[in-house]
Structure 1
Amino acid sequence: MKYIKLVIKIADKYQESLIAELFDMDFDGFEQRESSIIAYIAKKNFGINDRERVDQLLGAYPGNGYIETEEIVADQNWNEQWEQTVKAQEIGSFFVKPTWSQATVPDDKILLEIDPKMSFGTGYHETTRLMLKALPDLLDGDDTVIDAGTGTGILSIAAIKLGAKEVLAFDINEWSITNTHENILLNGINDSITVKQGSTEVITEGTRVDLVLVNIEKNVILTLLEDLVVALKKEGQLLLSGLLETDLPQMKEELKDRFEIVEVYQENEWIAIQAKKIN
């Protein structure tokens, strides 16, 4: 079968979002590189209208562009190639691994079995690591949690394994909902997590939770923040990521009247903000 290979220049912080959109267009292979994505699609699935659609998608992201487009003849197992890039790793209190990994789980780590879709990218981002590292200190037994923009469901699953009573996980992307359900089943905790497709409108009126987790791009956080604040108990904890170090001043300004900043975590240029609701 003939494939079209697109090499797209795009900043790292936008790659996960673009991959999700390309996946919905029937692209079925991805490689993430520094400041670029390589995307593959069967030639029969990529007509003129599809190329125009990709152009429209790229127009929503700053600093994007094609590096090259190439037609290739391929007889490859894209899933197998992609799986080779997803490795088991220790992240704070957790040992995160895909089901195809034969890695041994350390005795002192909590196992999270996560099989991410190709639409979620090929590795665990700094922001995910920051959230996982901070999470154990934020949860007490029987806490209730909202996981906004759940992705693979990894944070919801981690929260339950740390003792949370229940989690509401939501995401606007259909692939995320499917993948989250799959990963919940892999970890044997399907009775404790409610998964809904949508945004903050899926939060039942009157809901008040102990912890809100948000790992989404800054501008999306800002659109959801008011609804999430309403759903958080007084003195409840908010853990935000998907943020760059340069986003910190604006986020502090947004939070200052209703939250006390407890901690700012950082890995490379990425940060996570832990804040306690005071009003």
Structure 2
Amino acid sequence: MNYVEVQLELESEFTEILMAELAEAGFESFVETDEGLQAYIIEEDFNETVLQDLIAKYSEITAISSSWKSLERKNWNEEWERSYEPIEVGNDIRIRATFHEPDPTFTYDLLIQPKMSFGTGHHETTWLVMNEQLNLPHAGLSIMDVGCGTGILAILASKLGATSLLGFDIDEWAVENTVENFSMNGLGEEAEVFKGTINEVQAEKQFGGILANINRNILLEEIPKYVKHLLPGGWLVTSGFYEMDQSDIEKCAAETGLKKLRSNTRNQWATVVFEKEK
């Protein structure tokens, strides 16, 4: 599976709104640059007409230039492996690649093979979710990681005491990377990952906690499905959306009977934690 990289040169004040618009159009990840913005989308989901219409819309109020290219899998991974730096979440969590030395001052040392899977720790929402995990019960629970990316959230769940893990993603690279990362962190048969969606999770499977760091549209569609797999008293962490979309997520969750516990934001990205009634 290849990705398309779109490069936009624009004024910095328009970066956030363009990221929001592109996310709605299916773009999965973003890198802010000195010139503007780089955005990434699965090649088969890329629609040049949609991109050009969006650029035309904002060209009326600011100067924007754009270019795009298809990225081969090899180049995609090598670029991230070259630039990957350890990520720290507070004083507790450090996410590093195998070529970084461990730092014993952190409570949780997480190893990943950095590839272009969402969830290397650099994205604001991954940081937000992991920060929330530190304050949620995991010991003895079964945890589901929706759209697992690198599997990093499930790995942290294991280190926090979860006894059973299920992750899935529609990206075959992500699944391969998660399997690799599970092994590097000593996870065995208690950790399962597959290529697919929530629709492939067996109806009888129940979880004490669910991690869903995806995007607004998928969350709005799938939150009712997550609730069916959530045990009474279980928690759901949602992220992958902007502050402006938080009210929509909360409304959807409330309609399924979930209670909001708390929320947090970081650089205009948001996360909300919910609980299913006991």
TM-score over 0.5 (shorter chain):
yes
Q: Is 2:47 aligned against 1:56?
A: yes
The offset of 1:128, in angstroms, is: 0.2
Query: What letter is aligned with 2:198?
Result: T
**2:189 aligned to which of 183, 191, 202:** 191
Query: What letter is aligned with 2:247?
Result: P
The offset of 1:138, in angstroms, is: 1.2
Give the alignment of 1:76-155 within 5 angstroms.
Answer: 81-92=79-90, 93-102=92-101, 104-120=102-118, 124-155=122-153
The offset of 1:115, in angstroms, is: 1.6
**2:19 aligned to which of 6, 11, 35:** 11
Contact 2:121 2:127 in 1 (8 A): no
Q: Is 2:267 aligned against 1:268?
A: yes
Q: TM-score scaled to structure 1, two decimals?
A: 0.77
The offset of 1:234, in angstroms, is: 1.4
Query: What letter is aligned with 1:255?
Result: A
Count the aligned residue pairs. Answer: 247
The offset of 1:186, in angstroms, is: 1.0
The offset of 1:54, in angstroms, is: 7.8
Cα deviation per residue 1:115-172 (whole Å; 9 max; x = unaligned)? 2313548761000000111102212321111110000100011101110011110111
> Cα distance 1:58–1:98, how it changes in 2: closer, same or farther (>3 A)?
farther
> Cα distance 1:226–1:81, how it changes in 2: closer, same or farther (>3 A)?
closer
Using the aligned pairs only, state the percent identity: 29
- Runs of at least 5 residues in structure 1 that lack an aligned partner in the other structure: 21-30, 40-49, 71-76
Contact 1:114 1:183 in 2 (8 A): yes
Cα deviation per residue 1:233-274 (whole Å; 9 max; x = unaligned)? 111101000021111111221122411111101111011101
Contact 1:145 1:168 in 2 (8 A): yes
Instruction: Measure, in 1, the Cα distance between the counterparts of 2:117 and 2:139.
Output: 33
Corresponding residue number in structure 2 for 1:26:
none
Aligned-pair Cα RMSD in Å: 3.3
Instruction: Measure, in 2, the Cα distance between the counterparts of 1:272 and 1:62.
Output: 30
